[in-house]
Amino acid sequence: MLLSDGEDTTSLVDEDRVLELARRADVAVYPIALLGAAKQDRERLASREATHFLRVLARESGGEAHFPSSLSQLNAVYERVAGELRNQYMVGYVPRTDRRDGRFHRIEVRTPSRSHLQVRHRLGYYSSRG
């Protein structure tokens, strides 16, 4: 879980590098952002950009972003994430070809006979170099 307002004020790495690091770490990120009411246009734009990045980070890593409107909602968010983590399934994947190029390869997970399921997964993996 990542508790943040999502706005970058002093990072040493950019958003693309953060996404790459999350992919390589093989972790699901669950951002929780407490976004205050932005009063100026510049603040609203920064807030929208932060929200977008946190959603992308969650989607790319297989997690889910949460945006509670107050501190009093945090416990419910933590309970939802904990419940999801307790009720997840692990699915294995073996690619058809043995590409050892060290590149990121996208994957897609479908459940056509169970359309009611909510599937959250990493969007790909890095193959090993060989």
State both tokens at 22: 């999350």
Q: What sections of 5-125 are H helices per DSSP?
A: 15-25, 41-61, 74-86
d(C-alpha 64, C-alpha 54), whole Å = 9
Please list the rounded mean pLDDT of every run of 10 residues in the chain (130 residues): 77 88 89 72 75 92 91 93 88 78 85 83 81
Domains, the chain, ordered by start: 2-91 (3.40.50.410)
pTM: 0.76
State both tokens at 69: 């409107």
Give tens-digit pLDDT for 27-57: 899 999 987 655 555 667 778 888 999 999 9
